[in-house]
A and B are shown apart, each in its own frame.
Chain A
Amino acid sequence: MKVNIKESLSELNARERVLSLVDKGSFHEFLGPFDGKESPHLAAQGVVPQSDDGVVAGKGIIDGASCVMIAMEGDFQGGGIGEVAGSKIAAALELALKDNKNGTLTHAVIIFDTGGVRLQEANYGLLTIAEIHAAITDLREYSPVIGVIPGKIGAFGGMAISAGLCSTLIMTKEGRLCLNGPEVIEQEAGIAEFDSKDRLLVWQTIGGMQRTTTGFADVLTVDDATIIKEHISDAFSKNPVNVPRSADVEKFLSIVNTIDPSFKYTPEGFQHVVEETKNKRNNFKKSQHGTKKSRGEIWFEVFTGKSAIDMQEVPSVLCGEGTINNEKASFLSVVPDEEGRFPRARNGEVGLEQGWMLAKYVREIIEEDKGSDKRPIVAIVDVPSQAYGYNEELAGIYLSCAAAVDAYAAARRAGHPVIALIVGKAISGAFLSHGLQANRILALDDENVQVQVMSKQSAARITLRTIEQVEEAAKKVPATAYDVRSFATLGALEELIQDIEPDQPGKDDVASVEESLKKTVNDIQKSNAGIERRLSTPQALSGGRKASIEVRKLMEEQWK
Chain B
Amino acid sequence: MDTLTFEFKTTEFIQNRAHVGVVGSGDLEILMEPVKEPHTKVEIRTNIQGFEKMWRLVLERFIQENDISAFIKVNDFGATPGVVRLRLEQALEVSQSEGKH
* B39 adjacent to chain A (CB < 8 Å): no
Let me know if A46 and B1 touch, CB within 8 A.
yes
Asked if residues A47 and B47 are in contact (CB atoms below 8 Å), the reply is: yes
State the majority secondary structure of interface residues on A: loop
* Chain B 1-46 interface residues, beta-carbon cutoff 8 Å to A: 1, 17, 19, 22-25, 27, 29, 31, 33, 45-46
B27 with A50: CB separation less than 8 A: no
Least CB separation from A49: chain B residue: B75
User: Are B47 and A46 neighbours in the complex by a CB distance under 8 Å?
Assistant: yes
Chain A residues closer than 8 Å to B46, beta-carbon distance = 48
Q: CB-CB contacts of B66-98 with A at 8 A, as 1s and 0s?
A: 000000010111000000000000000000000
User: A13 near B75 (CB under 8 angstroms)?
Assistant: no
Closest Cβ–Cβ distance, residue B56 to chain A (whole Å): 19
How many Å lie between the Cα of A76 and that of B22 in the bound state?
A: 7
On whether A75 and B22 interact (CB within 8 A), knowing A46-B47, A47-B47, A48-B45, the answer reads yes
Q: Are A50 and B22 in contact (CB under 8 A)?
A: yes
Contact between chains at B1 and A47 (CB < 8 Å): yes
B22 touches A48 (CB 8 A): no
Contacts known (A47-B47, A50-B29); A75 close to B24, Cβ less than 8 A: yes
Complexed CA–CA distance, A73 and B29 (Å): 12
Pick the contact of A48: B17, B19, B77 (CB < 8 A): B77
A512 contacts partner chain B, Cβ-Cβ < 8 Å: no
Given known contacts A46-B1, A49-B45, A13 and B22 CB-to-CB distance under 8 angstroms: yes
Please, how many angstroms separate the alpha-carbon atoms of A13 and B19 in the complex?
A: 13
Neighbour of B27 across the interface among A33, A46, A47, A75, CB < 8 A: A75
> How far does the alpha carbon of A77 sit from the alpha carbon of B29 in the complex, in Å?
13
Q: Tell me if A34 counts as interface (CB < 8 A to partner B).
A: yes
CA distance A134 to B24 in the complex (A): 30
Q: Is A537 an interface residue (CB 8 A)?
A: no
Q: Is A192 an interface residue (CB 8 A)?
A: no
- Cβ-defined contact, A34 with B33, below 8 A: yes
- Asked if A51 and B45 make an inter-chain contact with CB atoms under 8 angstroms apart, the answer reads no
A77 and B47 alpha carbons, distance in the complex (Å): 13
Q: Give complex CA distance A430, B32 in Å.
A: 43
Bound-state Cα–Cα, A232 to B27, Å: 31
What band does the interface of chain A fall in when counting residues whose beta carbon is under 8 Å from B?
A: 10 to 19
Contact partners of A77 in chain B: CB under 8 A: 23
Question: Given the complex of chains A and B, what is the CA–CA distance between A13 and B20 in angstroms?
Answer: 11
Which residues of chain B have C-beta atoms less than 8 A from A43's C-beta? 1, 45
Which A18-53 residues have C-beta < 8 A from chain B?
32-34, 43, 46-51
Given A51-B29, A76-B24, A34–B19 Cβ distance below 8 Å? yes
Q: In whole angstroms, how far apart are the Cα atoms of A46 and B1 in the complex?
A: 5
Closest chain A residue to B33, Cβ basis: A34
Q: Which residue of B lies closest to A25 (CB)?
A: B100
* Known contacts A50-B23, A51-B73; A34 and B31 CB within 8 A of each other: yes
Q: Which of B17, B24, B45, B47 contacts A34 (CB 8 A)?
A: B17
From A32, A34, A46, A76, B23 is in contact (CB under 8 Å) with A76
Q: A48, B1: Cβ atoms under 8 Å?
A: yes
B1: chain A residues at CB < 8 Å are: 43, 46-48
A51 touches B22 (CB 8 A): no
Q: By the criterion CB–CB under 8 Å, are B47 and A48 in contact?
A: yes
Kindly provide the distance from the CB of A11 to the nearest chain B CB, expressed in whole angstroms.
13
CB distance from A479 to the nearest CB of B (A): 19
A38 to B22, CA, bound (A): 13
Write the chain A residue with the least CB distance to B47: A48
- Chain A residues contacting B22 (CB-CB under 8 Å) are 13, 50, 73, 75-76
Shortest distance from the beta carbon of A448 to any chain B beta carbon, whole Å: 35
Residues in chain B near residue A50, CB distance under 8 A? 22-23, 29, 75
B101 neighbours in A (Cβ, 8 Å) = 34
Counting from the closest, the 10 A-B pairs by CB-CB distance are A75-B24, A50-B23, A33-B19, A46-B1, A75-B22, A48-B45, A76-B23, A48-B47, A48-B75, A13-B22
26 A-B interface contacts by CB (under 8 A): A32-B19, A34-B19, A34-B31, A34-B33, A34-B101, A43-B45, A46-B47, A47-B1, A47-B47, A48-B1, A48-B23, A48-B45, A48-B77, A49-B45, A50-B22, A50-B29, A50-B75, A51-B19, A51-B29, A51-B31, A51-B75, A75-B22, A75-B23, A75-B25, A76-B23, A76-B24
Task: Please give the residue numbers on chain A whose beta carbons come within 8 Å of chain B beta carbons, in ascending order.
Answer: 13, 32-34, 43, 46-51, 73, 75-77
Can you add 8 more A-B contacts, CB < 8 Å, to A33-B29, A34-B17, A75-B25? A13-B22, A48-B45, A50-B29, A51-B31, A51-B73, A75-B22, A75-B24, A76-B22
